[in-house]
Amino acid sequence: MLDLPIRQDDPEILPARKLSARVAGVFIAPEDHFETRAVDQLDLGFEGIEGDFHAGHTRRSGGREPWYPRGTEMRNERQLSIVAADELALVAERMGIAGIRPEWIGANLVVDGIPRLSMLPSGTMMFFKGGVTLKVDAQNGPCRVAGRSVAEHAGMADIEAGALLFPKVAKRLRGLVAWVEKPGRIADGEEMSVRIPEQWTYRG
């Protein structure tokens, strides 16, 4: 093995880790709307959740991909939205409302037992006891569409102000988006393990 000299700008490398967690809720969105409803289980194929609004091998680009013309067909790495109840509670507190239900923002999974869920790095793998494997693509950036849904459901006096506030206070608390690596079925209450890859910061 070639040993390279240590430089001052070398990144700190954090070793891989494994955590245990539990599914605290499963939800599906109708094909015509992003908001979800609670179910007992999710059936997943390589295209995502069967019948879900975000299912598909590909999707159309939007505001999150300014490097493509809007509507460009691209790989769908956003098949599932994953959130944590403690992070949603913090966002609700910052918005001055009683709470935020995962259905309001189109979440498919609520995960319990992972501190700072939204900070899990890209490439994190989620292994579910029933056999499903998900791979995390990235954080789910909060947007005004979800913010408007929250403001309307929470009965905020100024809906537009609430829609604008959500992206500001939910940054890095909105959860994760992931895609199906190994299909199967995920049930509410199911045990799962999370494998966090080795991490480093590229300073090149």
pLDDT surpassing 60 at residue 2: no
Looking at residue 201, what is its pLDDT?
Answer: 87
For the record, the structure tokens of 159 come out as 């809906």
Cα–Cα distance between 2 and 4 in angstroms, integer? Answer: 6
pTM over 0.85: yes
Cα–Cα distance between 139 and 153 in angstroms, integer? Answer: 24
Would you list the DSSP string of 2-47? --PPP-TTPPP-BPPEEEEEEEEEEEE--TT-S--EEESEEEEETT
Looking at residue 63, what is its pLDDT?
Answer: 87
Express each pLDDT in 10-67 by its tens digit. 888 999 999 999 999 999 998 888 999 999 999 999 999 999 999 999 999 998 899 9
Looking at residue 4, what is its pLDDT?
Answer: 55
Cα–Cα distance between 56 and 75 in angstroms, integer? Answer: 9
Assign 97 to helix, strand or coil.
coil
Burial 143-156 (b: 16+ CB within 10 A, else e): bbebbbbbbebbeb
Burial of 107 (0-12, 13-18, 19+ CB in 10 A): buried
Mean pLDDT of the chain: 95
